[in-house]
Structure 1
Amino acid sequence: MPKDYAKHSLGQAGGNLYTNKGGGSNYLCLPSDPENGKAYSYDNDGLYGAEYDVNSSTKPSSLPASLSQKEVPCAVCRRTGKVSVLMKPGRKSCYKGWKAEYSGFLMSQHKEYNNVDYICMDRDAEPLDNRSVNDNHALFYPVRARCGSLRCPPYKDYTDVLCTVCSK
């Protein structure tokens, strides 16, 4: 690990239930050592663990099929001395003057479910552990390009959208 790079926290990815109409709309990196509040019985649940919802026919080519239905780990990292971090959709490399932190595939919620922010899933993605349960709570799906108002070329129809996270 470079000396100007520090892992800030490690945990599990989470988010809202994919069918909830209200509540949060972004994925979260949840700590593995939470400090829990009081338990209440009112019905406003909205925080669930996330899982990879990919299989052999929907996953980007370099992601392993073994990720299917597994929970998603996450890390929040900090680069000391850096002032900008930018996720670049549609690129697997950074522009000149920027340093690549990692690259992978643009992912988000399925188009038939509620909106969720786009994220750049590391091409070396791993499961949180070996547990495999299809809970279908917060879900990650690969994003594919669609021609029309999205210009093709330079984009290509039905292709995985690559991404990279760059710092400067």
Structure 2
Amino acid sequence: MHPFQVLLLPGWQDSGPGHWQTEWERLHGYRRVQQHDWTRPLRGDWSARLEEVVADAPGEVLLAAHSLGCILAAWWAAHTRHARKVHGALLVAPGDVQRPDLAAQIRGWAPIARRPLPFPAVLAGSRDDPYCAFERARAMAQDWGARFVDLGARGHVNAESGLGDWPEGHALLQTLINKD
């Protein structure tokens, strides 16, 4: 196996049964970063929790984020002292929390941090994601310095997308594990 702990960063309302993150946790033993409140997420609380988990990790970590978890990863990376511990990040279907309808539901997460990430990243976006326009996801990847992967029409790349343990996504994570 690899020497990195993989940290799963779910989005708003967590990743439930049938979600690829839940499958990866079960199949590969990856660690979900548990948040205090999945339904009323506070950016400061979620960032502090991620800071604590990364700081306490015995070695380097890989982040595998979905939806609001992507926005968390970018915000955290812009403010942390522990970015050097991140070997890479897989960012899947970021939620556009600056969109008025989402900003009303998930308050306090705008603006989205748009600095280049201080670690290698891959952003995988869907052409028909109901929570983020395709071009918006591509722009986030560019701003973050992430390699962009077009997933085609996969919805929000969640349990409703019917991906199961999503081997294609796991292969993207492996590209980060195997980087020089």
Q: TM-score, normalised by structure 2?
A: 0.23
Larger Rg: 1
More strand by share: 1
- Larger RCO, structure (CA 8 Å, separation 6 or more): 1
